[in-house]
A and B are shown apart, each in its own frame.
Chain A
Amino acid sequence: SSELTQDPAVSVALGQTVRITCQGDSLRSYYASWYQQKPGQAPVLVIYGKNNRPSGIPDRFSGSSSGNTASLTITGAQAEDEADYYCNSRDSSGNLVVFGGGTKLTVL
């Protein structure tokens, strides 16, 4: 079982804002990182740290954190944002790595 918990599925209307959450005790000590994965492709890092986007990631993607919950927000969701989203961080011991179970985002 994962030490990070995500909702299995979330939907958003085209152009609207959606928040995907990730909960876990380790998030009180470590920032979550977020990945986008489209069918048949490798995951792509979209947010890391407090709220950092790698080069090439649109600024409609943002991250935030409060207590044991991290959030990925997509402001003005586009059709191409439909994908699976995963969070990850260190585990509570700090030695191992964990992923959330993933959230399937549907853009309506």
Chain B
Amino acid sequence: EVQLVESGGGLVQPGGSLRLSCAASGFTFSSYWMSWVRQAPGKGLEWVANIKQDGSEKYYVDSVKGRFTISRDNAKNSLYLQMNSLRAEDTAVYYCAREMVRMAIHAFDIWGQGTMVTVSS
């Protein structure tokens, strides 16, 4: 079964750090771009960052540049998101998602169940 399972969420104080993990199974992880997408309580979906199959390219939404780092370990079929200098506005459910990338097509075809990150004192 194709599956993504996130972990590492929790309550953290403003200015703190947290590392999210996403374990992939049921497909060849090293063949896909991967992303983190978040959803603040009661709000819409927001793409956060993505990483190329071999880790050579990484992109971020402006609001997290310089604070968040996406990485992957293909040997462990795992995706990570290191989050530093966390702010209240980073509070959200964070989803790991597999990307389907073809000419003129971009889609997230597999999603994890999400992990909640709460930034509060």
Which residues of A89-108 are within 8 A (CB) of B? Answer: 89-90, 95-102
Determine how close the nearest CB of chain B comes to the CB of A63; give it in whole angstroms.
11
Q: How far is the CA of A99 from the CA of B37 in the complex (A)?
A: 10
Determine how close the nearest CB of chain A comes to the CB of B4; give it in whole angstroms.
9
Residue A86 lies at the interface, judged by CB distance under 8 Å to chain B:
yes
- Nearest-neighbor residue (CB-CB) of B48 within chain A: A97
Residue B27 lies at the interface, judged by CB distance under 8 Å to chain A:
no
Q: Are B105 and A97 in contact (CB under 8 A)?
A: no
Identify the 7 closest CB pairs spanning chains A and B, nearest first: A33-B107, A48-B107, A97-B47, A102-B44, A42-B111, A99-B45, A49-B105
> In which size bucket is the chain B interface?
20 to 34
Contacts of A30 in B (CB 8 A): 104-106
10 A–B contacts from the bound complex (CB under 8 Å): A29-B104, A30-B105, A42-B95, A42-B111, A43-B108, A45-B107, A48-B107, A49-B105, A54-B109, A100-B44
Q: How far is the CA of A49 from the CA of B107 in the complex (A)?
A: 8
